[in-house]
């Protein structure tokens, strides 16, 4: 396997090849995602929702993110592995941010980190980059600051918010980030940003004028079913398929159908 690197992603943008990115939080799922040639695996703090059942991404800890990331690292041979730095592990000051990023790199074996925000966290981003750790930015809808906004609606529809987002993207590029996630913003704005920077823009709910796409793998597979944003394309309905399979198992146990003669010693 030839490992995808931060450099290959920038080259993909240059060559007009779209970048595919998906989340994974555990070994078994990451094996499948990696074998399907997904370019980037994001160990997202969406694990807080998807894996732990929290309402927001805020409660997940750095230790928990490292646990998820180390499981993914053991599975993935080809994909570049990016790990979210969780809420509360980089906002206090830039030294704390660097310590958190170093812990992720040393203890999980991930290849890069992702942080949410623009100019507010510029010093932290610079300090992490100075240590040789690749940083992916994340602008637009930033779930770690959900309580500041109060809703998960589309971001940067207002002119001043769109202007700030464009400036933040420029700043992240200038600081040395290798890519930026843009979440839930108008497609026209996302396209404009993608055309204004040389680093890849990976969209989620940001239209197809960007350089790549990311989704939460459980959403794509239809394992989650309460979450139905317009941007989500479901490729399977695993919630239903898994429920049916498990109900069948229960019935088979109750009716003494399982195990049969061949399924025992």
Which CB sits closer to ligand KIV, 190 or 262? 190
Q: Is 45 in the site for Na ion (CB under 5 A)?
A: yes
Q: Which residues contact 56 (CB under 8 A, 6 or more apart)?
A: 48, 49, 143, 146, 147
Residue partners of 6: CB distance under 8 A and separation at least 6: 80, 111, 112, 134, 178, 179
Catalytic residue among 183, 195, 226, 262: 183
- Can residue 44 be called a binding residue for Na ion (CB under 5 A)? yes
Count of CB atoms situated within 10 Å of the CB of 62: 18
Instruction: Report how far residue 137's alpha carbon sits from residue 12's, in angstroms, rounded to the nearest whole number.
Output: 18
Nearer to ligand KIV, 44 or 134 (CB): 44
Q: In angstroms, rounded to a whole number, what is the distance separating the alpha carbons of residues 198 and 18?
A: 14
Query: Minimum distance between the CB of residue 89 and ligand KIV, rounded to whole angstroms?
Result: 14
Distance CA 102, CA 130 (A): 12
Regarding 24 and contact with ligand KIV (CB under 6 A), the answer is no
Distance CA 68, CA 242 (A): 23
Is residue 183 annotated as a catalytic residue, yes or no? yes
Least gap, CB of 265 to ligand KIV (angstroms): 44
Q: Answer yes or no: are the C-beta atoms of 168 and 139 closer than 8 Å.
A: yes
Tell me which residue has its CB nearest to ligand KIV.
44
Sign of CA dihedral 241, 246, 250, 255: positive
Residue 205-234 contact track with ligand KIV, rule CB under 6 A, x = bound: ---------x-x------------------
Q: Which is nearer to ligand KIV, 52 or 250 (CB)?
A: 52
User: Which of 30, 115, 125, 204 forms a contact with ligand KIV (CB under 6 A)?
Assistant: 204
Question: Residue 211 binds which one of ligand KIV, Na ion, none, with CB within 5 to 8 A depending on kind?
Answer: none
Please say which residue, 98 or 205, places its beta carbon nearer to ligand KIV: 205
Would you say 227 or 249 has its CB closer to ligand KIV?
Answer: 227
Q: Position of tokens 């793998």?
A: 217
Binding of ligand KIV by 39 (CB under 6 A): no
Q: Buried b vs exposed e over 3-28: b needs ≥16 C-beta within 10 Å?
A: ebebeebbebbeeeeebbbbbbbbee
- Distance, CA of 11 to CA of 26 (rounded, Å): 29
**Look-up of token digits 């890519």:** 179
Decide: is 84 part of the binding site for Na ion (CB under 5 A): yes
**What does the binding site for Na ion look like in residue numbers (CB under 5 A)?**
44-45, 84
**What does the binding site for ligand KIV look like in residue numbers (CB under 6 A)?**
23, 42, 44-46, 84, 181, 183, 204, 214, 216
Binding-site positions = 45-46, 84, 114, 116
Binding-site positions for 3-methyl-2-oxobutanoate = 45-46, 84, 114
Binding-site positions for Mg(2+) = 45, 84, 116
Active site residues: 183
């Amino acid at each position: 396997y030839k490992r995808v690197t931060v450099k290959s992603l920038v080259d993909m943008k240059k060559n007009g090849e779209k970048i595919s990115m998906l989340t994974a939080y555990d070994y078994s799922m990451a094996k499948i995602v990696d074998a399907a040639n997904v370019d980037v695996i994001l160990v997202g703090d969406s694990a807080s929702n998807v894996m732990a059942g929290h309402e927001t991404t805020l409660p997940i800890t750095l230790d928990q993110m490292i646990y998820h990331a180390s499981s993914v690292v053991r599975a993935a041979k080809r994909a570049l592995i990016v790990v979210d730095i969780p809420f509360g592990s980089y906002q206090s000051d830039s030294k704390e941010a660097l310590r958190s990023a170093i812990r992720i790199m040393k203890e999980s074996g991930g290849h890069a980190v992702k942080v949410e925000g623009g100019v507010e966290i510029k010093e932290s981003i610079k300090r992490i980059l100075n240590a040789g750790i690749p940083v992916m930015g994340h602008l637009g809808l930033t779930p770690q600051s959900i309580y500041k906004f109060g809703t998960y609606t589309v971001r940067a529809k207002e002119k001043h918010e769109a202007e700030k987002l464009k400036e933040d993207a420029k700043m992240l590029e200038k600081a040395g980030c290798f890519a930026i996630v843009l979440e839930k913003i108008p497609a026209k704005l996302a396209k404009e940003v993608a055309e204004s920077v040389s680093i890849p823009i990976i969209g989620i709910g940001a239209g197809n004028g960007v350089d790549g796409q990311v989704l939460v793998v459980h959403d794509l597979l239809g394992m989650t079913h309460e979450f139905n944003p317009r941007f989500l394309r479901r490729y399977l309905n695993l919630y239903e398929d898994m429920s049916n399979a498990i109900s069948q198992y229960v019935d088979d146990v109750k009716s003494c159908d399982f195990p049969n003669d061949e399924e025992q010693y």
